[in-house]
């Protein structure tokens, strides 16, 4: 996907710097440029802009007003403001308008790229969340098209799947179906049985719980690459003998449905999990400098952080954070050894907020400061 980036800056030299010093296209951005707020607002109204970078001080319409009016046109628009030190408090105040971040002048072009990428990552996460919601709604529609609710008489309200398709989806069940043990699934089924017992005279909550189980299970198996028909067949296989199944029938159906679905998932070769971790590792290897986190990866992969952490450790033999820190340590040593970059430049390159924090992290990790490490290399000492 190409992301549309709009840069609004009245100072020509700065406008040229941020547009020409970075190969935006190679990073997946289509760039639009405006020399004032009025021009920027016109572009926002004409183009589907995803990210707006605006100077907070411009003649006529300033960055604050532009942000307010642009967001009125496109409420999903993400905004980054540029300000001088004298406008720092004003820039902070702009955060209350929903501004994602701000940059203080002077700044390096690479720093702007990092801030834009961080904002884009948030947009990607939101896009993935919306896609999941749409997928759940589509699954619900497919169920209705198959007239499944007519066959299973206890789902008496045919619109319930749609109205509740995003209600309290049970992420824990999804985790257990993906990577859990038989013991964990057994305990989860017991919880469902207990909940159904407590809802015996509360038909609406029974519907909600059953909907959670069905939609979560269907979403999980489809994301794992199975055909929806396979799970529909499992659902139909264990239907009660009459359309008016009682509570015990429902409990038995839930148990049989989940165990058979679990067997279907576990029949898949282990190579799929391994491939997922390889793909994740490849992404981290390329993006570790931009603040990639286990949480952001988990959202993109539609897994919980704890589930992904467990899977990552089982294949890599180390925690996610240790792996990322290892990449940063290796690159930091390489830059200290092979370049004459200053400490703050290396810190900025590796995504640290400032040189002091980088130096503290390096000393804690390596055992000496970056300066001491570089001096040892220059003196010919053998350092790791």
**The domain spanning residue 70 has which CATH number?**
3.40.50.2300
Residues 252 and 313 occupy one common structural domain:
no
**For 220, what's the count of Cα atoms within 13 Å in the CB-facing half-sphere?**
25
Q: How confident is the model at residue 263 (pLDDT cuts 50, 70, 90)?
A: confident
Q: Looking at the structure, do residues 152 and 256 belong to the same domain, yes or no?
A: yes
**131 inside domain:** no
Q: In the numeric block, which tokens belong to residue 269?
A: 């070769």
- Per the model's pLDDT, the better-predicted residue between 195 and 336 turns out to be 336
13-27: average pLDDT: 88
DSSP secondary structure string, 143-207? HHHTTHHHHSTT---TTHHHHTTTSS--HHHHHHHHH--HHHHHHHHHHHHHHHHHTTT-HHHHH
- Asked if 116 and 8 sit in the same domain, the reply is yes
Q: Is residue 126 part of a domain?
A: no
The closest of 221, 247, 249 to 234, measured between CA atoms, is 221
pLDDT of residue 152: 47
Same domain, 226 and 166: yes
The set of long-range contacts for 161-164, using a CB threshold of 8 Å and a minimum separation of 24, is 161/211, 161/214, 161/215, 162/137, 164/207, 164/208, 164/211, 164/212
Mean pLDDT, residues 7-32? 90
Domain that holds residue 173: 146-266
Residue 179 forms part of a structural domain: yes
Scanning the structure block, which residue is given the tokens 């390159």?
A: 349
In-domain check, residue 140: no
**145: pLDDT strictly greater than 70:** no
In a domain, 139, yes or no: no
- CATH code, domain carrying 359: 1.10.10.60
Instruction: Specify if 135 maps to a domain.
Output: no
According to the model, what pLDDT value does residue 157 have?
42
Which residue in the block uniquely carries the two structure tokens 């020509």? 12
Asked if 303 and 332 sit in the same domain, the reply is no
- The reply to whether 294 and 220 lie within a common domain is no
- pLDDT (tens digit per residue) in 220-234: 887 776 777 777 778
138 Cβ partners below 8 Å, 6+ apart? none
Peptide bond into 61 cis (omega under 30): no
Selection from 219-223, 253-257, 286-290, 313-317 with the highest mean pLDDT:
253-257
Residue 87's pLDDT band (boundaries 50, 70, 90)?
low
The DSSP symbol for 97 reads G
Lowest model confidence (mean pLDDT) among 27-36, 145-154, 310-319: 145-154
216 and 115 in a single domain? The answer is: no
Average pLDDT over residues 59-73: 88
Q: Do residues 82 and 109 make contact, with C-beta atoms less than 8 angstroms apart?
A: no
Tokens 């009682």 belong to: 246
Total domains present in the chain? 4
Asked if residue 37 belongs to a domain, the reply is: yes
**DSSP single-letter state for residue 2:** P
CB-based contact 294:256 (threshold 8 Å): no
250 with 283, same domain: the answer is no
Shared domain for 82 and 166, answered yes or no, is no
Whether residue 167 has pLDDT greater than 90 = no
Show which of 120, 136, 164 is a domain's final residue: 120
- Residues 6+ away with beta carbon under 8 Å from 181: none
Based on the fold, state whether residues 163 and 255 are members of the same structural domain: yes
pLDDT computed for residue 311 by the predictor: 80
The last residue of a domain, from among 77, 104, 120: 120
Note whether residue 352 is domain-resident: yes
Which tokens belong to 287? 């993006």
Are 328 and 261 in the same domain?
A: no
Give SS3 for 105: coil
Together in a domain, 47 and 85: yes
């Amino acid at each position: 996907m190409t992301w549309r980036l709009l840069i609004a800056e009245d100072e020509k030299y700065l406008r040229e710097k941020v547009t020409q010093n970075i190969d935006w296209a190679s990073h997946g951005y289509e760039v639009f440029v405006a020399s004032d707020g009025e021009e920027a607002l016109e572009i926002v109204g004409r183009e589907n802009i995803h990210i707006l970078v605006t100077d907070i001080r411009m003649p006529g319409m300033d960055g604050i007003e532009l942000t307010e009016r642009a967001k009125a046109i496109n409420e999903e628009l993400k905004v980054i403001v540029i300000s001088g030190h004298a406008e720092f408090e004003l820039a902070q105040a702009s955060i209350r308008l929903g501004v994602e971040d701000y940059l203080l002048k002077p700044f390096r072009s690479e720093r702007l790229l990092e801030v834009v990428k961080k904002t884009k990552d948030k947009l990607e996460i939101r896009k993935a969340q919306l896609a999941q919601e749409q997928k759940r709604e589509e699954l619900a529609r497919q169920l209705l098209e198959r007239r499944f609710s007519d066959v299973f008489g206890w789902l008496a309200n045919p619109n319930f799947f749609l109205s509740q398709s995003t209600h309290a989806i049970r992420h824990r069940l999804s985790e257990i179906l993906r990577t859990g043990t038989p013991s964990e699934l057994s305990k989860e089924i017991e919880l469902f049985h207990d909940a159904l017992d407590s809802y015996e005279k509360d038909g609406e909550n029974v519907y909600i719980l059953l909907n959670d189980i069905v939609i979560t299970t269907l979403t999980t198996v489809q994301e794992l690459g199975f055909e929806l028909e396979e799970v529909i067949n499992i659902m139909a296989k264990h239907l009660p003998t009459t359309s008016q199944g009682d509570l015990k029938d429902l409990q038995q159906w839930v148990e049989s449905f989940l165990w058979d679905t679990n067997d279907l998932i576990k029949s898949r070769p282990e190579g799929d999990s391994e491939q997922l971790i390889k793909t994740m590792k490849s992404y981290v290897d390329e993006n570790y400098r931009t603040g990639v986190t286990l949480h952001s990866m988990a959202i993109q992969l539609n897994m919980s952080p704890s589930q992904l952490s467990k899977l990552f450790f089982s294949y890599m033999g180390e925690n996610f954070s240790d792996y990322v820190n290892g990449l940063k340590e290796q690159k930091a040593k390489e830059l200290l050894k092979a370049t004459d970059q200053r400490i703050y430049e290396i810190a900025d390159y590796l995504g640290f907020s400032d040189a002091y924090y980088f130096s503290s992290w390096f000393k804690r990790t390596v055992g000496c400061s970056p300066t001491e490490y570089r001096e040892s290399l220059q003196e010919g000492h053998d350092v790791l």
